[in-house]
Amino acid sequence: MREFIVEADGGSRGNPGPAGYGSVVIDATTGETLMEAAEYIGVATNNVAEYKGLVAGLKGAHQLDPDASVHVRMDSKLVVEQMSGRWKIKHPDMKPLAAEAARIFPASRVTYEWIPREKNKHADRLANEAMDAGKRGQRWSPSASTAEFDARAARAAAEAPSGPPGDAAAGAAKARAALSTASRGASNADAHAARNAAAPPVGWAAPADLGAPATFVLLRHGETPLTPEKRFSGSGGSDPSLSDVGREQAERAAAALAARGTIQAIVSSPLKRCQETAHTVAARLGLDVHLEEGLRETDFGAWEGLTFGEVRERQPDELTAWLASPKAAPPGGESFATVSRRVSAARDRLTEAYAGRTVLLVTHVTPIKTLVRLALGAPPESLFRMELSAASVSAVAYYADGNASVRLLNDTSHLR
């Protein structure tokens, strides 16, 4: 049986604050680094970042060989003791992450060891590279990483004989330069090939050189007093606030998104119910809310505040035309074709502004369904064939070549 060592770490500059993780998969026999992973995860705690690093490392090892045994080394006493079963997991943000980590390999094939921070330099430097990249609005790139060289240089300097004061820094620099020079050519090519071989494909069998996508996590606002009665509630009506149920839904969504720890920015429709939902999440994540006019709901004109049945009784011909054609609009309102153009323009602006980042878009039924429909290349009538619950989460990723991948639709698990 093949044996891997996973070293993982995470950090938060503020706790909670801007956070990132790093993880390394090492061949236990040869000591060769087989895979590195690092990611800026937005605002999170140290513990969330550490757990994210563990999950990434275990997933990387599983991709390399799902039948391997794994020895995890971390400088987080909390994670090591909790995953070893010696400490209880009490914090609600930790439980789903620990459960995810436990599902990757059978427990009988994973062992955990606490190590001092100075022996976890490689993963620590990866986490800091990821946080530095996130601060620049970029995504960590393995091709630009020097974490392995830095860690090896630091170990070499620490093991070197002591000399006059001031020699330590010079020795570390020399060691790093020597390691970097020695690792060029064939070794560097081998490392690059190993990373590419271990990296998961982007999209469905798409080449990895498309880069990191702009990922939009789509959150429908929480309930308003009109939602349970299924009344038309667009952008041309009274702009209702969240109900008590809607505020509770927003809190639950915020907790789930905080536990996920991947949101880097928040953009909201300007309508009140979305802003209230967005600010609830933003308060939990420590982020600002930016408004995007293109994410507002359809203007349903004369139908605002009415139920479907009431519209059918009062304006049956107009309703039939609206159901039959995306170009038909409610009296005084917007057609789905108009909304589609507006949402598409907003999508293009946001994709360019947040390339390579994960962004929460807090919006409404029609904009979310439209983004999903366009990503799938589905016809306009598909808008009537999707269920989208209040405070549900969906996700679409957009790549540099214009292709999109629907990752999630109408997830309400956080509300149960």
Q: What is the mean predicted confidence (pLDDT) over 138-143? A: 85
Please, which pLDDT band fits residue 302 given cuts at 50, 70 and 90? very high
What residue spans in the chain does CATH classification 3.40.50.1240 cover? 214-415
Query: Which residues carry out catalysis?
Result: 221, 297
Q: What is the mean predicted confidence (pLDDT) over 74-103? A: 92
Per-residue pLDDT of 31-47, as tens digits, reads 888 899 999 999 999 99
What is the pLDDT at residue 158?
56
Lowest mean pLDDT of 57-66, 89-98, 206-215, name the range: 206-215
Please, which pLDDT band fits residue 4 given cuts at 50, 70 and 90? very high
What is the pLDDT at residue 211?
62
Query: Is the confidence at residue 267, as pLDDT, over 70?
Result: yes
Which residues are CB-neighbours of 261 under 8 A, at least 6 positions away? 19, 41, 42, 44, 48, 49, 52
> Angle formed by the axes of helices 46-64 and 95-104, to 10°?
10
What residue spans in the chain does CATH classification 3.30.420.10 cover? 3-142
Please, which pLDDT band fits residue 412 given cuts at 50, 70 and 90? very high
Query: Is the confidence at residue 120, as pLDDT, over 60?
Result: yes
> Angle formed by the axes of helices 365-376 and 336-353, to 10°?
80
Question: What superfamily does domain 3-142 belong to in CATH?
Answer: Ribonuclease H-like superfamily/Ribonuclease H (3.30.420.10)
Does 103 carry a binding-site annotation?
Answer: no
Q: How far is residue 53's CA from residue 102's CA, in Å, rounded to a whole number?
A: 13
Q: What is the pTM of this model?
A: 0.54
What beta strand segments (E) does 251-312 contain?
Answer: 265-268, 289-291
Please check whether residue 263 is in contact with residue 20, taking contact to mean a CB–CB distance below 8 angstroms. Answer: no
- CA 27-30-31 angle, to 5 degrees, is 65
What is the pLDDT at residue 172?
43
For the structural domain made of 214-415, what CATH number should be given?
3.40.50.1240
Per-residue pLDDT of 237-263, as tens digits, reads 789 999 999 999 999 999 999 988 889
